[in-house]
Structure 1
Amino acid sequence: MDVTLRQLAVFVAIADHEGFGAAAAALGMSQSSVSHSLAALERTVAGELVRRAAPVRPTPLGDVLLPHARATLSAARGFTAAASAHAGATAAGSIGLAVPPTAAHGLLPGLLRLWHEQLPDVEIALFEGFDEEIEEWLESGTVDAAVLVDPHPPPHGALLLATDAYEAVVRSDHPLAGEQFIELADLLEDPLLATTSGCEAQVRHLHARTGLPYRPSRRIREFTTLLCMVEAGLGVGIVPSLAASMLSDTLTLVPLRPRLERRLVLTGPAGRPWHPNVTAVRDLAGKHVSTQA
Structure 2
Amino acid sequence: MTLNLPQLRAFLAVVDAGGFSAAAAELGMSQSAVSHAVASLERELTAPLLIRASPVRTTVLGAKVLPHARMALSAVRSVEQLAADAGGTMTGTVRLASTPTVCQGLVPGLLRHWREDQPRITVRVFEGDSAEVAAWLEDGTADAAVLIDPPPATAGKYPWSGPGIELATDEYRALLPRDHPLADEPRVDIRDLEDDPFLISPNGCEARVRTLHSLAGLRFSPTHRVRDLATLISMVQAGLGVTVLSEVSRSLIPSDLVLLPLQPQTSRRLVLTGPQARPWHPALRTLAESAAGHLVRSVSRPAAPAEGHSLPSGSR
Q: TM-score, normalised by structure 1?
A: 0.86
C-alpha RMSD of matched pairs (Å): 2.7
Checking the alignment, whether the CA contact within 8 Å between 1:122 and 1:277 is kept in structure 2 is yes
Q: Which runs of 5+ in 2 are unaligned?
A: 155-161, 303-316
Q: How does 1:57-206 map to 2 (within 5 A)?
A: 57-59=57-59, 62-63=62-63, 65-80=65-80, 82-154=81-153, 156-206=162-212
Question: Is residue 259 of structure 1 aligned with residue 265 of structure 2?
Answer: yes
Identity over aligned pairs, percent: 48
Q: Which amino acid aligns with 2:50?
A: V
Aligned counterpart for 1:286 among listed residues 286, 292, 310: 292
What is the number of equivalent residue pairs in this alignment? 292
Checking the alignment, whether the CA contact within 8 Å between 1:71 and 1:142 is kept in structure 2 is no
Describe the superposition over 1:152-200 as per-residue Cα deviations: whole angstroms up to 9, x where unpaired: 1035442221112111112212222222222222223222221134311
Q: Secondary structure at the match of 1:114?
A: helix
Match of 2:6? Answer: 6
Match of 2:313? Answer: none
Match of 1:22? Answer: 22
Q: Within 2, Cα distance between the matches of 1:288 and 1:62? A: 41
Match of 1:31? Answer: 31
Checking the alignment, whether the CA contact within 8 Å between 1:70 and 1:142 is kept in structure 2 is no
Q: Within 2, Cα distance between the matches of 1:28 and 1:191? A: 50
Checking the alignment, whether the CA contact within 8 Å between 2:175 and 2:258 is kept in structure 1 is yes
After the TM superposition, which parts of structure 1 deviate over 6 Å for at least 4 consecutive aligned residues? none
Deviation at 1:74, TM superposition (A): 4.0
Q: Secondary structure at the match of 1:224?
A: helix
Checking the alignment, whether the CA contact within 8 Å between 2:16 and 2:141 is kept in structure 1 is no
Match of 2:240? Answer: 234
Checking the alignment, whether the CA contact within 8 Å between 2:18 and 2:54 is kept in structure 1 is yes
Checking the alignment, whether the CA contact within 8 Å between 2:176 and 2:243 is kept in structure 1 is yes
Checking the alignment, whether the CA contact within 8 Å between 2:21 and 2:31 is kept in structure 1 is yes
Distance 1:145 1:172, change over 3 A: same
Distance 1:92 1:249, change over 3 A: same
Q: Within 1, Cα distance between the matches of 2:5 and 2:14? A: 14
Q: Within 2, Cα distance between the matches of 1:191 and 1:216? A: 7
Checking the alignment, whether the CA contact within 8 Å between 1:165 and 1:241 is kept in structure 2 is yes
Q: Within 1, Cα distance between the matches of 2:190 and 2:238? A: 22
Q: Within 2, Cα distance between the matches of 1:223 and 1:61? A: 39
Match of 2:314? Answer: none
> Is the deviation greater in 66-75 or in 189-198?
66-75
Deviation at 1:237, TM superposition (A): 1.3
Q: Which amino acid aligns with 1:23?
A: A
Q: Which amino acid aligns with 1:203?
A: V
Distance 1:30 1:107, change over 3 A: closer
Q: Which runs of 5+ in 1 are unaligned?
A: none
Checking the alignment, whether the CA contact within 8 Å between 2:176 and 2:183 is kept in structure 1 is yes
Checking the alignment, whether the CA contact within 8 Å between 1:167 and 1:254 is kept in structure 2 is yes
Deviation at 1:95, TM superposition (A): 1.5
Q: Within 2, Cα distance between the matches of 1:237 and 1:170? A: 7
Q: Which amino acid aligns with 1:17?
A: A
Q: Within 1, Cα distance between the matches of 2:152 and 2:30? A: 45
Q: Secondary structure at the match of 1:87?
A: helix
Q: Which amino acid aligns with 2:238?
A: A
Checking the alignment, whether the CA contact within 8 Å between 1:192 and 1:218 is kept in structure 2 is yes
Distance 1:43 1:217, change over 3 A: farther
Q: Which amino acid aligns with 2:264?
A: P
Deviation at 1:48, TM superposition (A): 4.1
Checking the alignment, whether the CA contact within 8 Å between 1:106 and 1:243 is kept in structure 2 is yes
Match of 2:279? Answer: 273
Q: Secondary structure at the match of 2:292?
A: helix
Q: Within 2, Cα distance between the matches of 1:63 and 1:204? A: 38
Q: Within 2, Cα distance between the matches of 1:276 and 1:32? A: 29
